[in-house]
C-alpha cells in the first residue's frame, strides 16, 4: 500500500456551501426586462478550476493511503493517550455499537471531521471497523433507561452464552466519540447508486450462502461474490443450505463445476444439523462474513451454530419464492469458541465495484489460463477473432454455463 504523507483535501458539507447559480435566469429576465440586458448576461460559466464549485477544506495531520485497488483511506493522526481501541459491531444511523478492548459495549458517535471527508462510500463506518474512541461519559448506563439498555444488548446478541462478556448485567453501555478509523483489509462491497456499499470490513473468509430450495440457487449471484472474494483475496466457501428439501443428486452437476475449480462446496441443513460441526470448526479464530439472498437461512445457520443468539428468522413467500429482510443491517457477532461472524442483510442484486471488464476473466480460475493466448491483448472474449477463451469453450475445456455467466456479467454491468 503506497502512502502519500501530508494534508488531505475534503469536500465542504452542503450546509456550508451556498447556491452557486441562480435557479431560473430566463424567468428573472422576463419578469424584470428593464433591469436586464443582453450586454449584462453571463455568456459562459466556469465549471472547473478553483471556482465556487470546487471549494475544499484542508485537514492537517492526515495521511492519505492509496491501496492497490485504487481505494482511498485517510489515516487521521490522533493522540491515542486517552483513547480506547475497539471494534464496530453495528452501525445504526448516527450511532455505532463498539465493543471495546475492555469487553464493554459502547454507544459511540463519530467525529465530525471523519463524517465530512470526501469518500465514494455510502457511509464512513461499517461493521468490522477497528477504531479508536474517547469515552465521554463513564456513567453512560445512567443516561439510558433499563429498556433501552436491554434493547441495545439484545441487538448485539448478548445473551447468557454470548461472547460479549457473559451475563448481560456485566456489560457496560457508555457514551463514546470515535476519533480514528484504522485502515481496512478484506472488504466485502458492492456498487450501489454509483457509490461503494461496504457490507463488512476486515474479513478473513466469505461464506456464500445459497439454498437448494425456497428460494432456489442463483449461480449468477454466486459468481459475482466469488469475483469480489478473489479481488479482495478473501477465502470463499460456497454453502448450499436447505439440502433436506431436495434430492441432492439434482445439484451434483452444479456442485461439480465449482468443486473442479478448487472452491469448497458445503451442503448444510439448519433443520437436520448436516455439516454444522464442520462449519462451526471452520468459523473458529476467523472473521467470517455470511452473504446471500434473503431467505437462504443465514440467520438460521448462525442460531444453530451458536445457541442463544436468538436472531430473527422468517419464512419465504409462497407467491414469489423470495425471502423477507429480517436482518436490516450488517452486524459483527463474536462467537463463544473464538472468532466472529458478520450477519448481513439479504442481497438480491450484487453489482461489482471497482472491477474493470478486462479484469473479470483473470479473476475466474477456469478462464484465467487462456487469457494470455488470445490474439488481441485487450480481448474481452465476446466477439473478437482468434479468442483462446471461446475456443476452450467450444472444446468443452471451459464449462458453457460459466462462460454464459461471464458474458451476461460483462454485457449487463461492465461493457458500455
DSSP 1-61: -EEE-S-EEEEPPGGGS---S-S-HHHHHHH-GGG--GGGS------SSSSGGG-EEEETT
Quick one: fold of 73-181? Answer: OB fold (Dihydrolipoamide Acetyltransferase, E2P) (2.40.50)
Between 208 and 6, the more confident residue is 208
Between 143 and 29, the more confident residue is 29
Pairing of strands 72-76, 84-92: unpaired
Pairing of strands 188-192, 195-200: antiparallel
pLDDT given at position 287: 93
pLDDT given at position 59: 53
Tell me the C-alpha distance between 362 and 360, whole Å. Answer: 5
pLDDT band of residue 191 (cuts 50, 70, 90) is confident
- The annotated binding site for GTP is made up of 241-244, 292-300
pLDDT given at position 142: 36
pLDDT band of residue 61 (cuts 50, 70, 90) is low
Q: 290 to each of 65, 229, 346, 384, how far by Cα in Å?
A: 28, 12, 10, 38
With a CB cutoff of 8 Å and minimum separation 6, the contacts of 364 are 223, 226, 227, 230, 402, 406
Q: What average pLDDT score do residues 369-384 get?
A: 93
Tell me the C-alpha distance between 318 and 63, whole Å. Answer: 53
pLDDT band of residue 384 (cuts 50, 70, 90) is very high
Q: Do domains 73-181 and 188-343 have the same CATH topology?
A: no
- The annotated binding site is made up of 241-244, 292-300, 374, 379, 381, 387
pTM over 0.75: no
User: Which cell is 235 given?
Assistant: 477465502
Quick one: fold of 188-343? Answer: Rossmann fold (3.40.50)
Domain boundaries, the chain: 73-181, 188-343, 357-414
Q: What average pLDDT score do residues 369-374 get?
A: 94
- The annotated binding site for Zn(2+) is made up of 374, 379, 381, 387
Which CATH number is associated with domain 357-414? Answer: 1.10.40.50
C-beta contacts of 399-407 below 8 A and 24+ residues apart: 399/257, 399/366, 401/219, 401/257, 402/223, 402/257, 402/364, 402/366, 402/367, 403/367, 405/219, 405/220, 405/223, 406/223, 406/360, 406/361, 406/364, 406/367, 406/381, 407/382
| Per-residue model confidence as pLDDT tens digits over 90-142 | 998 888 999 998 888 899 988 887 777 656 666 788 999 999 999 876 544 43
Pairing of strands 173-181, 105-110: parallel
Q: How many CA atoms lie within 13 A of 202 on its CB side?
A: 20
| Per-residue model confidence as pLDDT tens digits over 48-59 | 444 444 555 555
Amino acid at each position: 500500500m503506497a502512502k502519500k504523507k501530508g494534508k488531505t483535501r475534503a469536500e465542504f458539507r452542503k450546509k456550508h456551501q451556498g447556491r452557486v447559480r441562480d435557479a431560473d435566469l430566463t424567468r428573472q429576465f422576463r419578469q424584470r426586462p428593464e433591469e436586464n440586458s443582453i450586454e449584462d448576461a453571463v455568456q459562459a460559466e466556469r465549471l472547473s478550476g478553483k471556482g465556487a464549485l470546487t471549494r475544499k477544506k484542508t485537514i492537517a495531520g492526515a495521511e492519505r493511503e492509496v491501496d492497490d485497488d485504487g481505494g482511498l483511506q485517510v489515516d487521521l493522526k490522533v493522540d491515542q493517550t486517552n483513547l480506547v481501541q475497539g471494534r464496530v459491531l453495528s452501525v445504526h444511523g448516527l450511532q455505532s455499537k463498539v465493543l471495546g478492548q475492555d469487553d464493554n459495549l459502547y454507544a459511540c458517535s463519530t467525529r465530525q471531521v471523519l463524517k465530512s471527508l470526501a469518500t465514494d462510500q455510502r457511509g464512513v463506518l461499517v461493521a468490522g471497523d477497528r477504531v479508536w474512541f474517547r469515552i465521554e461519559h463513564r456513567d453512560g448506563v445512567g443516561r439510558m433507561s433499563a429498556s433501552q439498555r436491554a434493547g441495545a444488548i439484545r441487538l448485539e446478541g448478548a445473551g447468557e452464552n454470548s461472547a460479549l462478556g457473559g451475563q448481560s448485567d456485566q456489560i457496560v453501555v457508555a457514551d463514546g466519540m470515535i476519533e480514528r478509523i484504522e485502515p481496512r483489509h478484506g472488504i466485502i462491497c458492492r456498487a450501489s447508486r454509483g457509490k461503494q456499499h461496504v457490507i463488512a470490513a476486515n474479513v478473513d473468509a466469505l461464506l456464500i450462502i445459497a439454498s437448494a430450495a425456497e428460494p432456489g440457487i442463483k449461480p449468477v449471484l454466486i459468481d459475482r461474490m466469488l469475483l469480489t472474494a478473489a479481488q479482495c483475496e478473501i477465502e470463499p466457501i460456497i454453502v448450499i443450505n436447505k439440502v433436506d428439501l431436495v434430492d441432492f443428486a439434482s445439484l451434483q452437476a452444479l456442485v461439480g463445476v465449482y468443486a473442479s475449480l478448487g472452491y469448497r462446496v458445503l451442503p448444510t441443513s439448519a433443520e437436520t444439523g448436516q455439516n454444522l460441526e464442520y462449519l462451526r470448526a471452520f468459523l473458529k479464530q476467523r472473521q467470517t462474513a455470511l452473504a446471500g439472498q434473503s431467505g437462504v437461512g443465514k440467520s438460521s445457520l448462525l442460531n444453530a451454530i451458536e445457541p442463544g443468539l436468538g436472531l430473527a428468522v422468517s419464512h419465504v413467500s409462497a407467491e414469489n419464492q423470495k425471502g423477507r429482510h429480517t436482518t436490516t443491517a450488517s452486524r459483527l457477532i463474536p462467537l463463544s469458541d473464538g472468532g466472529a461472524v458478520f450477519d448481513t442483510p439479504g442481497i438480491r442484486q450484487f453489482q461489482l465495484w471497482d472491477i474493470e471488464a478486462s479484469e473479470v476473466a483473470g479473476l475466474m480460475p477456469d478462464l484465467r489460463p487462456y487469457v494470455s493466448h488470445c490474439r488481441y491483448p485487450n480481448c474481452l472474449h465476446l466477439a473478437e477473432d482468434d479468442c483462446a477463451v471461446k475456443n476452450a469453450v467450444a472444446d468443452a475445456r471451459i464449462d458453457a454455463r460459466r462462460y454464459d455467466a461471464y458474458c451476461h456479467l460483462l454485457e449487463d454491468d461492465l461493457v458500455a
